[in-house]
Copies of this chain bind each other. A is one copy, B any other.
C-alpha cells in the first residue's frame, strides 16, 4: 500500500500545481492534469464555468486505478482560435468513427452528424441540444472523450461541417445524375463555437470508450453513491396532501405489501409555492418535526419539492433580496447562486426548517427552463455573471448547495433535479421532467450514461394497465424507482388487474438492491455509470446504419436517410442487459453482444453475438445476464436495510464461465465511506473437474462494515 499512497499524494500535489499553472497559462499547450486527462486553455475563459460551478474535485484515487495513457488524438489536428469574442474549436474525426454524448438526448444515441446548441432547457421533443443536461462532453467509439468546460450556449457541429482545406474533403457530385449524391457529405471534424473570449477544454484517454467515460466521471469527482434507501421505492403524493394523509399513504403501502422507502411531498408542504417560502404550511403540516419522526418510525423518509424562486413571504426574502437578479419568476426573486452570501442564507433556511428535523432530500423543480419558467437572458445578476451562465449552471449550483447541507450533517441524500450539466456526476440527484414518452425515456436513460448524469423514466399515470406494467418494468431498472403522482394520485395498485404483477416487479427492485448498490459504488469509486447504452459494452458490434426510409422527394426533399440505431435496450450494471417492451408490443428483437447470454429469470442460454426475438408476455420485462454473471440479491423487504442491519444474500450465478464479482458494503447512510469506512468482498464461482459449481465470498477486513447475514447460492444455468 505504501508506494500507491505515495503516488497518490504526489499526484494530488502535482494536480494542484498543474491546475494553478494551467489556469494562468494561455495557449501554452496541453497540460497533463491526471492520468489520461489533459487540459488546454484558450484565450481568456470566463471565471464561471461548469467545473467551478460544480466545485468538482477530481477523484484522484479512482483516476490512479486507470492506466496511464498517451494523448489519444493527433494534437496537430485540434484547432482552436478566438475571433471577435468567439472561440472556435475543431477536433478531428476519422472514417467510421461514432460519437456519443452531448448530454441528455431523448431520441438519438449516435451523435455524429448532428448540429446542437447546448442550452439548458426542458426537453422539447427534438434532440437539438436543448435539454435538462446539455453536457458539452462527447465520447468516441475510438476510445477518447472531449469536454468543453463552458457555461455558455455552445453550438456544436458534431461532424457535419466540411472545410475547403479538409484532407478528406468529400468528392463533389452532381445531384442531377449521380445516384451517389448525398445530402450529407463526409465531414472529418467536430466543430464548436463557444460565444466567449476563451475556454478550457479537456481530453480524456481510453483505451475503451468506457475508460474515457470513467475518466470524465472521475475527473468530475466520481459518480454519486446514494444512500441505500435511495434505491428503494418512492411515491410522490398529491400536492395538497396533509401530514395525516401522508401517514395514511405510508400505512397503505405496508398493508398492501408494496415496498416504500421515501415519500415525496409536492408544493403543498410549503406555506406558499410558485414562488416559494421554504417554510411548512401550518394547516397541512401543523407539526413538521413530529410528522417527520412518525414517518421515520414507519421506515419512510421524506423528500421535499421546491423550486428556487423566493416568495416575499419567505423568512429569507429581505435578507436575500440584494443578491437576486433583476427579473422575477412567478413573482419570486431569483437568487444569484454564484454568490457566497446566497449560499449561506439558503443553507441556513433549509437546515433550520427541514434538514435538521430529518428531511432526507429535495426535488428541485423549474431550474431548467421551458424558457418561460425561468429568468430571461436579459436579466442582470449582482455577481456580474450573465443570465446565460446562470442558466447553464443553475442546476449544478442547486445540487451543490443542497448536497453540502446533508454533507455537513454526515447524512447522505438522494433527490431529484430538473437541470444539470457537466461536472455534476458526484451530486446525488436524478434528473426528471414533464415529458412522458416511454420509448424516449429509455433512450434518455442510455444517454445519461454517456455524460455523467442520472435519469429516471418515472411513472406518473397510464391509460391502460398494460402501459402501467410496461412502465413499472423499466422504472425498477433505473436510478430511481418512482411513481410521481403529484397530480394524478395514482398508486402502485391503481390498476387492479396488474396489482400482483406490479408488486412482484417492485419486489424485484428491492431484491436487486445489493447488486444496484454495488453498481453505484462502482460509479462512485471507478466512474462506471450504473445505467448505460450498449455502445459502452464490449462485444456490442451492432453498427448504426442509415436507411432512406422515404423516397418521396415532396416529403423528404433532401433524400435524408434515417439512422437505425439501438436505443431501446441498455445495460443495468455489469451483468444485466434490459430489453423493455412498450405498450402495444408483444415481441421485440434483442441485440446480444458477443459472448454467451442467459435469461435472467430462468438461467437458460439465450444467444451469443446475435439478434434474438423474444415474446415475453405482458408480465415480463426481458433481462439477460452475461456469461459468468453474479447477481447478489436480498430477500424481498418493504424497506431498504438500515445502517448496520444485517440481511441475507442469495447470490445468483449465470452461465459457464468462471465468475467473479466485488460486492460493496458500507453503512448505507453516511459519508463515512469517504473516510475509507467501506468494504469490498470478493465473490467467486468456479466449477470443479466434474463441473460442479461452487461459490465463495470473502470476509471483510476487520473493522470494516459487514451487514452480511446468511448466504445462499443459486446456480441458474444447469
Contacts and interface: CB of A to CB of B under 8 A. Distances in A.
Given A331-B170, A371-B115, A553-B487, A378 B161 contact: yes
A90 B553 CA distance: 44
Contact of A327 (B161, B173, B329, B330): B161
A326 B176 contact: no
A297 interface: no
Nearest to A239: B176
Nearest to A172: B331
A547 interface: no
Contacts of A239: 176
A146 to B, nearest CB: 15
Contacts of A554: 436, 460-461, 487-488
Interface stretch (A178-186, A669-677, A679-687): A178-186
Interface string A314-344: 0000000000101111111100000000000
Contacts of A271: 174
B372 A184 contact: yes
A202 interface: no
A600 interface: no
Contact of A312 (B88, B172, B373, B557): B172
A164 B90 contact: no
Interface in A430-444: 434, 436
Contacts of A255: none
A84 B377 CA distance: 13
Interface size class of A (residues with CB under 8 A): 35 or more
B378 A181 contact: no
A192 B387 CA distance: 13
Nearest to A558: B373
Contact of A157 (B157, B281, B378): B378
B371 A272 contact: no
Contacts of A195: 195
A331 B162 contact: yes
A678 B188 CA distance: 57
Q: Tell me whether chain A's interface is mostly helix, strand or loop, or mixed.
A: loop
Contacts of A375: 161
Interface string A381-410: 000001000000000000000000000000
Contacts of A552: 487
A115 B380 contact: no
B181 A274 contact: yes
A327 B162 contact: yes
Interface in A268-318: 268, 270-275, 281, 311-313
A165 interface: yes
A552 to B, nearest CB: 8
Contacts of A326: 163-165
Interface in A2-25: none
B115 A376 contact: yes
A85 interface: yes
Nearest to A269: B176
A155 interface: yes
A67 interface: no
Given A328-B162, A331-B162, A553-B487, A378 B191 contact: yes
Contacts of A332: 172
Nearest to A365: B557
A557 B272 CA distance: 18
A267 interface: yes
Nearest to A325: B164
Interface of A: 83-86, 88, 90, 115, 124, 126, 155, 157, 160-165, 169-176, 181, 183-185, 191-193, 195, 239-240, 267-268, 270-275, 281, 311-313, 324, 326-333, 370-373, 375-380, 386, 434, 436, 460-461, 486-488, 552-555, 557-558
Given A161-B379, A193-B378, A195-B195, 16 more contacts: A157-B377, A157-B378, A160-B372, A162-B328, A163-B328, A165-B326, A172-B331, A174-B274, A176-B239, A176-B268, A176-B281, A192-B378, A436-B555, A460-B554, A487-B554, A487-B557
Give the 4 A-B residue pairs with the shortest CB-CB distance, closest first. A172-B331, A487-B553, A175-B274, A161-B376
24 contacts: A83-B380, A84-B386, A115-B371, A115-B372, A157-B377, A160-B376, A161-B327, A161-B379, A162-B327, A164-B326, A171-B331, A172-B275, A172-B313, A172-B332, A176-B239, A176-B268, A176-B270, A176-B273, A185-B328, A195-B195, A372-B558, A487-B554, A487-B557, A488-B554
